[in-house]
Structure 1
Amino acid sequence: MSVRLLHYSDIENACDDPVRMGRLAGTIQSIRGEDAVVAGTGDNTAPGVLAHYCEGRQVIPFFRAVSTDIGTVGNHDFDFGTAPILDVVSESPQKWIVANVFEGEREGGRGVPFAGLDGTTVLHRDDQRVGFVGVIDPATPRIAPTGASELTVTSPVESVQTAVSELGHSVDQFVVLAHLRSDLETDVAAVDGVDAVLGGHVHKERHEVVDGTLVVRPGANGQVVWEVELFNGNRSPIATRHSTAEGPIDESVADTTREQLDDVGLLETVATVDDPIHRDLDRRTCGESRVGNLVADAYRWAADTDVSFVHNGGLRTGRPLSGEVTAGEVASVNPFGGRVDVLHVSGEQLRTLLQAAFRPHREDGRLWHGDISGMTVEYDTEAGRLLGVAVNGQPIEASREYRLATNSYVAYSDDWPIPHEATVDSFGLPFKAVADYAREEGLTVRVDGRLQEC
Structure 2
Amino acid sequence: MSDSPLRHLHYSDVENAYDRPDRIGRLTGTIRSLDGPDAVVAGTGDTTSPGVLPLVTEGRQALDFYEGVGTAVETFGNHDFDFGPDATRDVVADSPQTWVSANAWDADGGRFAADEGVVPRTVVEREGVRVGFVGVTAPETGDLNPMATDVDFSDPVAAAREQVAALREEGVDYVVVLSHLGTPDEELAVELDVDVVLGGHLHAETRERVAGTLIVRPGVNGGIVHEVTLDGGEPTVERHAVDEGPMADDVADALRDRMAAAGLDEVVATVDEPIERTEATVFRGESRIGNFVADAYRWVADADVGLQNSGGIREGEPLDGDVTVADLMSVVPFEEDVIVGELTGRELLTLLRQSSGAVVSFGQADWWHGHVSGIELVWDHATDELVEARVGGDPVDLDATYTVATTDYLFHSEQEFPLLDDEHRGERFYTQYDVLVDYAREVGIDAEIEGRIVRRSVESA
TM-score with structure 2 setting the length:
0.92
- Name 1:45's counterpart in structure 2: 48
| Paired residue type of 1:408 | D
Mean Cα deviation higher: 406-415 or 336-345: 406-415
Please tell me the root mean square deviation across aligned C-alpha atoms, in Å.
Answer: 1.7
Equivalents in 2 of 1:408, 1:88: separation in Å? 26
- Name 2:181's counterpart in structure 1: 180
Deviation of the 1:123 alpha carbon: 0.6
For the 8 Å contact 2:64–2:251, the answer to whether it is kept is: yes
- Name 1:427's counterpart in structure 2: 429
Tell me, what secondary structure is at the counterpart of 1:257? helix
Give the direction of change, closer, same or farther, for the CA distance of 1:419–1:237 in structure 2 (3 Å limit): closer
| Paired residue type of 2:31 | I
For the 8 Å contact 1:160–1:191, the answer to whether it is kept is: no
Equivalents in 1 of 2:252, 2:78: separation in Å? 26
| Paired residue type of 1:364 | Q
Equivalents in 2 of 1:397, 1:144: separation in Å? 34
Q: Does 1:91 align with 2:94?
A: yes
- Name 2:236's counterpart in structure 1: 238
Equivalent residue pairs, number: 445
- Name 2:459's counterpart in structure 1: none
- Name 1:59's counterpart in structure 2: 62
Mean Cα deviation higher: 290-299 or 394-403: 394-403
Equivalents in 2 of 1:343, 1:154: separation in Å? 32
| Paired residue type of 1:115 | A
Tell me, what secondary structure is at the counterpart of 1:348? helix
| Paired residue type of 2:263 | G
| Paired residue type of 1:438 | A
Equivalents in 2 of 1:431, 1:46: separation in Å? 15
Give the direction of change, closer, same or farther, for the CA distance of 1:255–1:134 in structure 2 (3 Å limit): same
TM-score with structure 1 setting the length:
0.94
Deviation of the 1:68 alpha carbon: 0.8
- Name 1:306's counterpart in structure 2: 304
- Superimposed CA distance per residue, residues 103-131 of structure 1 (whole angstroms, 9 cap, x where no aligned partner): 234xxxxx221111211111111110111
Detail structure 1 runs of 4+ shifted over 4 Å in the superposition: none
Equivalents in 2 of 1:423, 1:187: separation in Å? 37
Mean Cα deviation higher: 118-127 or 393-402: 393-402
Equivalents in 1 of 2:226, 2:365: separation in Å? 24
| Paired residue type of 1:286 | R
Deviation of the 1:97 alpha carbon: 0.9
- Name 1:137's counterpart in structure 2: 138
For the 8 Å contact 2:357–2:363, the answer to whether it is kept is: no
Deviation of the 1:379 alpha carbon: 1.3
- Name 1:345's counterpart in structure 2: 343
Give the direction of change, closer, same or farther, for the CA distance of 1:366–1:24 in structure 2 (3 Å limit): farther
Equivalents in 2 of 1:173, 1:270: separation in Å? 53
- Superimposed CA distance per residue, residues 140-193 of structure 1 (whole angstroms, 9 cap, x where no aligned partner): 2222221x32333222212222222211141111111001030x2111122453
- Name 1:199's counterpart in structure 2: 199
Mean Cα deviation higher: 369-378 or 282-291: 282-291
Equivalents in 2 of 1:50, 1:425: separation in Å? 29
Pairing 1:380-395 to 2, within 5 Å after superposition: 380-395=380-395
- Superimposed CA distance per residue, residues 190-225 of structure 1 (whole angstroms, 9 cap, x where no aligned partner): 245311110011111110111111110011111111
Mean Cα deviation higher: 400-409 or 267-276: 267-276
| Paired residue type of 1:379 | W
Equivalents in 2 of 1:285, 1:376: separation in Å? 17
Deviation of the 1:318 alpha carbon: 1.3
| Paired residue type of 1:50 | L
Tell me, what secondary structure is at the counterpart of 1:13? helix
Equivalents in 1 of 2:103, 2:155: separation in Å? 7
Equivalents in 2 of 1:439, 1:29: separation in Å? 42
Equivalents in 2 of 1:407, 1:393: separation in Å? 24
Equivalents in 2 of 1:423, 1:120: separation in Å? 41
Pairing 1:17-416 to 2, within 5 Å after superposition: 17-105=20-108, 111-116=109-114, 117-146=118-147, 148-169=148-169, 170-182=171-183, 184-231=184-231, 233=232, 235-360=233-358, 362-415=362-415, 416=418
Equivalents in 1 of 2:366, 2:263: separation in Å? 35
| Paired residue type of 2:375 | M
- Superimposed CA distance per residue, residues 14-51 of structure 1 (whole angstroms, 9 cap, x where no aligned partner): 11222222221122112112221111111111122222
Mean Cα deviation higher: 151-160 or 119-128: 151-160
Tell me, what secondary structure is at the counterpart of 1:220? coil
For the 8 Å contact 1:62–1:253, the answer to whether it is kept is: yes
Deviation of the 1:238 alpha carbon: 0.7
Tell me, what secondary structure is at the counterpart of 1:332? helix
| Paired residue type of 2:20 | D
Mean Cα deviation higher: 345-354 or 407-416: 407-416
Equivalent in 439, 445, 453 of residue 451 of structure 1: 453
Give the direction of change, closer, same or farther, for the CA distance of 1:269–1:248 in structure 2 (3 Å limit): farther
- Superimposed CA distance per residue, residues 356-381 of structure 1 (whole angstroms, 9 cap, x where no aligned partner): 11232554334311000011111122
Equivalents in 1 of 2:28, 2:322: separation in Å? 25
Equivalents in 1 of 2:365, 2:251: separation in Å? 36
- Percent identity of paired positions between Structure 1 and Structure 2: 44
- Superimposed CA distance per residue, residues 363-401 of structure 1 (whole angstroms, 9 cap, x where no aligned partner): 433431100001111112211111222122222222222
**Structure 2: where are the runs of 5+ without partners?**
457-461
Deviation of the 1:419 alpha carbon: 5.0
| Paired residue type of 1:365 | A
Equivalents in 1 of 2:249, 2:363: separation in Å? 36
| Paired residue type of 2:370 | G
Equivalents in 2 of 1:128, 1:63: separation in Å? 23
Equivalents in 2 of 1:224, 1:365: separation in Å? 25
For the 8 Å contact 1:57–1:88, the answer to whether it is kept is: yes
Equivalents in 2 of 1:414, 1:160: separation in Å? 26
**Structure 1: where are the runs of 5+ without partners?**
106-110
Deviation of the 1:288 alpha carbon: 0.8
Equivalents in 2 of 1:145, 1:366: separation in Å? 27
- Superimposed CA distance per residue, residues 277-333 of structure 1 (whole angstroms, 9 cap, x where no aligned partner): 111112211211111112111211222222101111211111222233322122211
Give the direction of change, closer, same or farther, for the CA distance of 1:85–1:412 in structure 2 (3 Å limit): closer
Equivalents in 2 of 1:8, 1:203: separation in Å? 12
